[in-house]
Structure 1
Amino acid sequence: MRVPRFFLPPPVRACLTRVNLRFAGRMLGLGALTALALPPVHFLPVLLLSFGLLGQTLNTTTQWKRAAWAGGLFGFGFYAAGLYWLINAVLIRADEFWWFVPFPSLGCALILAPTAAVPAALSLLAAPGVRRLGAFAALWTLADMSRTFLFSGFTWNALGSCLAIPGVVGDILIQPAAWMGEDGLTLCLVLLSTLAGAACLRGSTLSPRTRSIILGGGISAILVWAALGAVRFYTATPAGEEGPIAVIAQGNVPETEKVGRLNPRDIFLRYLRLTHDGVQQALALEHRAPPPTDPTESDAVSEDTGRPIVFLWPETSFPGYDLLQDSPQARAIIMRWGGGAAAGLIGALRMDEQGRYRNAMLALAPDGAVEDVYDKARLVPFGEYQPPFIPLQIVPQGGMAAGPGPRTLHLRGLPPVGPLICYEVIFSGDVTDRHDRPRWLANVTNDAWFGNSAGPRQHLASVRLRAVEEGLPIARAANTGISAAYDGRGHLLQSLGWNRTAAFAVPLPAPLPATPFALYGQSIPLSACIILLVACISRTRKHKKNA
């Protein structure tokens, strides 16, 4: 059906002269379907259909503009569907920002669409067939890696996270992340999906012999992948001293209460009780007697003996930054209720010497003193800071100040720990200080903004992949869930589901030896992409020269 041109504004008319509605709808739909492969659905077969048809489109066109439109529309559909849950954050303050409701997911999708359009267009530098599809997979991964630098970075929904399936199957599939990181998983997944998907299509432009080779090689690659993953999962051995017993408190505080600064005293007391219960569980695990004093007594500071205990409160645990920053008495009360713990890691807002807010993690000593402070370095665009080109004031008071980057905290009585606040954990290869490797990771977050949606599950998948990449156990405290702890293989040790109020204690194992990815980081998937891309394009030029 043709749309009367006089009903459409000039920019839309210009677009429709280049891309017909059927083509646009197909590409948008394929992109949206691709989001089914992401956590928590993990429907991996859809990648054969979506990337197969996209690859077929790229193989049958000689026009870079058509290829760019195909990739851009595909990317827009993928990110719009995969990031639908961003709308929940606006609904928290719908009375003030009701007009902004459609923009988070669609706006992010519009910004991220070029990261799919550019690879699709540039893939035409390679000859049609296997080489073009290989070049596209390499370019897609390179563009995906570039999202680290957009604004302060926005690397949600990397396709490598699709392999983080809950349970033993996922444990095995994600092990190669220890060698090539999440972006390496993305490269392999896009390459296999595009080649095998195009080979399975009835109208494939690939020769029957090539299709047979691709399908046979794909099946062999999957079997080898699973075998290598299983070998590492079942043979990787922790080395050195065991980690601490992590007590994770999940207060389950609705975001409306925190935004409205409602019931701060009740929330504070809730976390005190959860901390006390969790530390008692930890002491029982060690068969240690509880502290001889009552937590309400003013001098109830206990000494650490045996395996160290540390408790974690989520990001911005309760309303009121000044309570922890300016009140030694409040901090001392927290540690009294956590009597028996060597330290407490508390997510809280603070104000620096220049009067700027910072999203921080405060490390409290047994006497309540602030032993160290970590400031969040990766701030959320539009949530914690406002990009300067946005003319409307969206973020209150212009947003927060960022910290310097990954650090290792050396706290008395604890193995060195790498702190991560909220979505800092999604940045593959940028979660630890490589010159001062920690022995475990602590992630505090507040996913209440995003409701009971795919967002918290996608976030959790990133936590699991960081454990595998770095070979480090990780403890995660989330305000409304999902709180969890993983070992250095990404195997779940214990978790607390969404919308639950509780605390649990989990002994963290020793870390694994530093993985290849922990040593060399993003240089591994970057090198793999460049080698594949050069191989695909150089062979194309060689064939053209011979012709």
Structure 2
Amino acid sequence: MRKTLILALIFGIVAALALPPVYLLPALWVSLPGLIWLIGRAKSWRQAGVIGLAFGFGLNVVGLYWITEPILIEAAQFWWLVPFAVPGLALAVGVFTAVPAALCWFAPPGLPRLLVLAGTWTIADLALQFVFTGFPWNFWGTDVAIPGLIGTVLIQPAAWIGVLGLTLCIVFVASLPSLGLRGFAASIALMVAWAVVGGLRLSRARPATPAAIVGVIQGDGTAEFASDRTAAIALFRRYLRLSADAVAKARATNPHNLPIVLLWPETASPFMLQTDVGARQAIADTVGPDVTVIAGMLRFGADGQSIYNSLGVVRGPGPLLATYDKWHLVPFGEYQPAWLPMQILPGEGFSRGTGPTTLHVPGIPPVGPIICYESVFSGQIIKESDRPDWIALATNDAWFGNSSGPRQHLAAGRMRAVEEGLPLARAANTGISAIFDASGREEMRIGHGRQGVLVAPLPGRLPPTLFAYWGLWAPSILGICTALLGVVLGVRRRLFRKT
């Protein structure tokens, strides 16, 4: 059993090579057949579950190594967490691989087992989005979000079935070679069909006409600005200077006199913009009274005690035109879950906002704001009853360092654009900042660790996608039906053998 677990661990590590930013998709065509082979050798469902746990542990130790980065920034206080954080999280997330592995052991070898594995894997990932505050990071559907045309084609079905539906497709298609040469040929044929379907959707997408000029600002401040007031103010001045550059570019390339809206990253302002007239005046003096700035900030609630991680909409020195409060907070980073018996974070942490919303600000297209971690929650970022025209994502990926973390986070945001059929502007403090159209095409980007601005006509939105209508019900039903089909085929095979 020890050799089996070592092999499962190695297969999991190999599978991690398919994750952003490596995108080595063929690794899944090796690791998944390997996992199925090991499950087939297991003597019980318990052994199969342990094999799945070892596979998930290897996958997530490599895929989540960057978790150590924010701990090292606060090493003086949290140094003792360094040896435990990544292995502990990888083990916890690995449970969601162990369950599908255990369940598919009951299915007969062959197609029934592959279907049960793909369906239950999808349902397990869906549970991962909600259990213990949720951690929907690195779903395998994002493995196909390869930068460039290939990735843009392959992610198109997310408009119907979401990233979880793509995960189901990946698990099934990459597992087919375990059936032999016919399975390998079927896998290739399905990938070709996938690309054809994606290409057809991409060619037929007709977005609306741009209604604004968007400027994305990247200041490249280190994570220490969150606790160093002097550094924070210096970074704020840098954002003012970069904003002036963005406005100049926007005015020079705006023949139709479209409204100009600038997007700053998460917590870009060290000042409480809700109450600080001087800070709002500084922004207005820099960009002009007719330019709208959506800036990351902190704000106090009406009780004067609760504090929110927010976005504020500034136009001129007057009161904020709108605010949005982050509601999907980072556990142990922004708040401490109530179920944890020991106190790790000082104080109470941030308060939660009320959920997805659409900001209707006069003069700019209706916008769906999201902050940082919220962008990884498929189907939970848009208020569908009040559909916006675009998504504004503000984040501060400086906490992740120059690791795979910012690249994985970027891929998740790109998937949200496709799922919702909405253009997405992403402002990240240290990068990667980018603008995606409603089909997930990358219009432009600023790489990691650079200062700069992106200025472009805001891409138009598409009609509501199937996923926008159905949300997480789409991959849920698909996962359940796929698993049930595997069960039915398995029962039928056993009955046929008996007769």
TM class by shorter-chain length? over 0.9
Give the aligned partner of residue 39 of structure 1. 20
Q: Distance in 2 between matches of 1:368 and 1:420?
A: 24
Are the counterparts in 1 of residues 212 and 260 from structure 2 also a CA contact under 8 Å?
yes
1:525 aligns with 2:493: no
Q: Post-superposition shift, 1:545? A: 4.7
1:181 aligns with 2:146: no
Letter in 1 for 2:184: L
1:448 aligns with 2:419: no
1:272 aligns with 2:240: yes
The correspondence for 1:457, drawn from 382, 386, 407, is: 407
Matches for 1:50-65 after TM superposition, within 5 Å: 50-65=31-46
Are the counterparts in 2 of residues 175 and 468 from structure 1 also a CA contact under 8 Å?
yes
Q: What do the CA deviations read for 1:398-447 (whole angstroms, capped 9, x no partner)? A: 32111111100000101110000001111111111110111100000000
Letter in 2 for 1:219: I
Letter in 2 for 1:259: S
The correspondence for 1:195, drawn from 176, 184, 206, is: 176
The correspondence for 2:260, drawn from 306, 309, 316, is: 309
Are the counterparts in 1 of residues 129 and 135 from structure 2 also a CA contact under 8 Å?
yes
- The structure-2 alpha-carbon separation of the partners of 1:368 and 1:181, relative to structure 1 and needing over 3 Å to count, comes to same
Q: Post-superposition shift, 1:95? A: 1.3
1:331 aligns with 2:300: no
Q: Distance in 1 between matches of 2:479 and 2:241?
A: 51
Are the counterparts in 1 of residues 378 and 416 from structure 2 also a CA contact under 8 Å?
yes
Matches for 1:104-183 after TM superposition, within 5 Å: 104-183=85-164
Are the counterparts in 1 of residues 215 and 261 from structure 2 also a CA contact under 8 Å?
yes
The correspondence for 1:350, drawn from 294, 299, 319, is: 299
More moved, 120-129 vs 277-286: 120-129
- The structure-2 alpha-carbon separation of the partners of 1:391 and 1:260, relative to structure 1 and needing over 3 Å to count, comes to farther
Unpaired runs of 5+ in structure 1?
Answer: 1-19, 200-210, 289-305
Tell me the SS of whatever aligns to 2:230. Answer: coil
Q: Post-superposition shift, 1:484? A: 0.4
The correspondence for 1:488, drawn from 411, 435, 438, is: 438
Are the counterparts in 2 of residues 250 and 314 from structure 1 also a CA contact under 8 Å?
yes
Give the aligned partner of residue 250 of structure 1. 218
Give the aligned partner of residue 194 of structure 2. 225
Letter in 2 for 1:477: A
Q: Post-superposition shift, 1:53? A: 0.7
Q: What do the CA deviations read for 1:301-355 (whole angstroms, capped 9, x no partner)? A: xxxxx2111111100114x453x23212211221221116442111011121231
Q: Distance in 1 between matches of 2:419 and 2:251?
A: 31
Give the aligned partner of residue 316 of structure 2. 366
Letter in 1 for 2:223: E
Q: What do the CA deviations read for 1:127-151 (whole angstroms, capped 9, x no partner)? A: 2222012101111111011111123
Q: Post-superposition shift, 1:187? A: 0.3
Are the counterparts in 2 of residues 247 and 282 from structure 1 also a CA contact under 8 Å?
yes
Are the counterparts in 2 of residues 119 and 140 from structure 1 also a CA contact under 8 Å?
yes
Q: What do the CA deviations read for 1:20-42 (whole angstroms, capped 9, x no partner)? A: 43222211121122111001000
- The structure-2 alpha-carbon separation of the partners of 1:174 and 1:388, relative to structure 1 and needing over 3 Å to count, comes to same
Are the counterparts in 2 of residues 332 and 369 from structure 1 also a CA contact under 8 Å?
no
- The structure-2 alpha-carbon separation of the partners of 1:104 and 1:338, relative to structure 1 and needing over 3 Å to count, comes to farther
More moved, 435-444 vs 532-541: 532-541
Are the counterparts in 2 of residues 309 and 340 from structure 1 also a CA contact under 8 Å?
no
Tell me the SS of whatever aligns to 1:400. Answer: coil
TM-score of the two chains, using structure 2 as the length reference: 0.96
More moved, 44-53 vs 330-339: 330-339
Q: Distance in 1 between matches of 2:189 and 2:290?
A: 50
User: Rg bigger for which structure?
Assistant: 1
Are the counterparts in 2 of residues 361 and 375 from structure 1 also a CA contact under 8 Å?
yes
Letter in 1 for 2:276: S
Q: Post-superposition shift, 1:287? A: 4.3
Letter in 1 for 2:189: S
Are the counterparts in 2 of residues 35 and 78 from structure 1 also a CA contact under 8 Å?
yes
Q: Distance in 2 between matches of 1:252 and 1:328?
A: 25
Q: Distance in 2 between matches of 1:235 and 1:315?
A: 35
Tell me the SS of whatever aligns to 2:190. Answer: helix
Q: Distance in 1 between matches of 2:279 and 2:323?
A: 17
Letter in 2 for 1:339: G
- The structure-2 alpha-carbon separation of the partners of 1:78 and 1:434, relative to structure 1 and needing over 3 Å to count, comes to same
Are the counterparts in 2 of residues 249 and 275 from structure 1 also a CA contact under 8 Å?
yes
Q: Distance in 2 between matches of 1:341 and 1:382?
A: 40
Q: Distance in 2 between matches of 1:73 and 1:314?
A: 38
Q: Distance in 1 between matches of 2:56 and 2:451?
A: 38
Letter in 2 for 1:470: E
Give the aligned partner of residue 303 of structure 1. none
More moved, 253-262 vs 176-185: 253-262
Give the aligned partner of residue 298 of structure 1. none
Unpaired runs of 5+ in structure 2?
Answer: none
Q: Distance in 1 between matches of 2:465 and 2:197?
A: 15
Q: Distance in 2 between matches of 1:341 and 1:376?
A: 26
Letter in 1 for 2:278: Q
- The structure-2 alpha-carbon separation of the partners of 1:243 and 1:393, relative to structure 1 and needing over 3 Å to count, comes to farther
Q: What do the CA deviations read for 1:452-489 (whole angstroms, capped 9, x no partner)? A: 01000001111111111111111011000001000011
- The structure-2 alpha-carbon separation of the partners of 1:340 and 1:370, relative to structure 1 and needing over 3 Å to count, comes to closer
Aligned length: 496
- The structure-2 alpha-carbon separation of the partners of 1:152 and 1:335, relative to structure 1 and needing over 3 Å to count, comes to farther
Letter in 2 for 1:474: L
Are the counterparts in 2 of residues 342 and 413 from structure 1 also a CA contact under 8 Å?
no
TM-score of the two chains, using structure 1 as the length reference: 0.88
Letter in 1 for 2:416: R
Tell me the SS of whatever aligns to 1:263. Answer: helix
The correspondence for 1:216, drawn from 158, 164, 185, is: 185
Give the aligned partner of residue 87 of structure 1. 68
Letter in 2 for 1:309: I
Matches for 1:462-473 after TM superposition, within 5 Å: 462-473=412-423
Q: What do the CA deviations read for 1:494-544 (whole angstroms, capped 9, x no partner)? A: 111111112221211211111111111111111111111111112323444
Letter in 1 for 2:287: G
The correspondence for 2:250, drawn from 271, 276, 282, is: 282
Q: Distance in 1 between matches of 2:25 and 2:132?
A: 30
Q: What is the RMSD of the two structures over their aligned residues, measured on CA atoms?
A: 1.6
Give the aligned partner of residue 534 of structure 1. 484
1:98 aligns with 2:67: no
Give the aligned partner of residue 505 of structure 1. 455
Are the counterparts in 1 of residues 376 and 413 from structure 2 also a CA contact under 8 Å?
yes
